[in-house]
Amino acid sequence: MTDGLEDVVAAHTVMSDVDGAAGRLIIRGRSLDDLAGRATFEEVTRLLWDGFFDHLPADLAGPLAAARAEVFAEVSAMDTGILALSPIEAMRALTARLADGDDLAVALRLLAAPAVFTAAVVRGQAGEAPIAPDTSLGHAADILRMLGKAPSQAEAEALDTYLVTVSDHGLNASTFAARVVASTRAGLGSAVLAGISALKGPLHGGAPGPIIDMLDGIETAENARPWIEAALARGDRLMGFGHRVYRVRDPRADALKGAIRRMGTRAGRLEFAEAVERAVLEILKAHKPDRSLDTNVEFYTALLLEALAFPPQAFTCVFAMGRTAGWIAHAREQLAGGRLIRPQSVYVGPTPRAAA
């Protein structure tokens, strides 16, 4: 029996390749280093979706902007019950109200939904009115604007880099969930909802928020080592370090770290976080020399999203903004194969007792 389906091949895909030994991520034949900070989220989405939709436009910026405007009409359904939920639960509930289907129009609305709904929920929970999309802006810039910010170019580019960086990452838990649902021909909306449901778990996309709690608890660079030593002595897990696949440094961490640094004076507490990172890596190497525990994408995700003024409780929603592009691509790829995912299980329970 293989716990967690470790090393079991469940799909043949053209979407992405995660090379854990080399610390390399390839998305549709392009290295992450060639995409992050160089290609827009709309361009990378076009790359992921190429060949899986009829009449896919050469430029998705306009169609995605129009989809944001369409989805915003659903914000009127956001009542007090929705606002009482956590942001990820509220965003999931609102997304479930969109019409399902398998065509490009549905895909674009689903891609726009996390951006529009998250901004509206965050503002609504702060007692502020939602802000309608501006279809003249790129996706990342408009997300920040709908939150109520007047983003600088560097801030918009930082969020764009983040969305690109998390757009696809092999057959992770949420992507596998999306492919399973897509294989039943339930529709792209159902597949995306399955992805969101898996993503919100603390062992998957729900992890970046606690990193802010850790940094808040440490407070100063001088307190990093004693705080970390005490956490390890209690048996606490240090979020933001170690990865199920990568045996070296997560390449996405450096892409995000660079994006934060390019924000200049708006880079938040980057220097403090770097000091904490150095302390954690030194201590982990001493305490667990037989394990490869390096920085993963979640550590600098938390720093970047904090610097962009997203509340920690909405971090997973922002993850979904980027990963939805990959979920939809994988769902369409699964549909093209036409095979229902139906693995076998090994029964290890009791057998019926023979009649006396």
Rounded CA gap, 157 and 239, in Å? 26
* Set 139, 169, 204, 243: catalytic member: 243
Tokens 């850790």 label which residue?
A: 214
Residue of 30, 47, 338, 330 whose CA lies nearest to 173? 330
Rounded CA gap, 284 and 263, in Å? 30
Six-digit token string for 263? 């924000």
Rounded CA gap, 189 and 178, in Å? 10
Rounded CA gap, 19 and 281, in Å? 21
Burial class (CB in 10 A: 0-12, 13-18, 19+), 33: middle
Residue of 8, 5, 18, 3 whose CA lies nearest to 248? 18
Rounded CA gap, 249 and 261, in Å? 18
CA distances from 156 to 160, 175, 231, 263 (A): 6, 26, 35, 9
* Active site (annotated) includes residue 243: yes
Q: Which residues contact 127 (CB under 8 A, 6 or more apart)?
A: none
Which sign, positive or negative, has the C-alpha torsion 159, 190, 82, 109? positive
Rounded CA gap, 147 and 322, in Å? 17
Per the DSSP assignment, residues forming a β-bridge with 31 are 26
* Active site (annotated) includes residue 330: no
Q: Which residues contact 290 (CB under 8 A, 6 or more apart)?
A: none
* Set 277, 298, 306, 333: catalytic member: 298
Q: Catalytic amino acids?
A: 243, 298
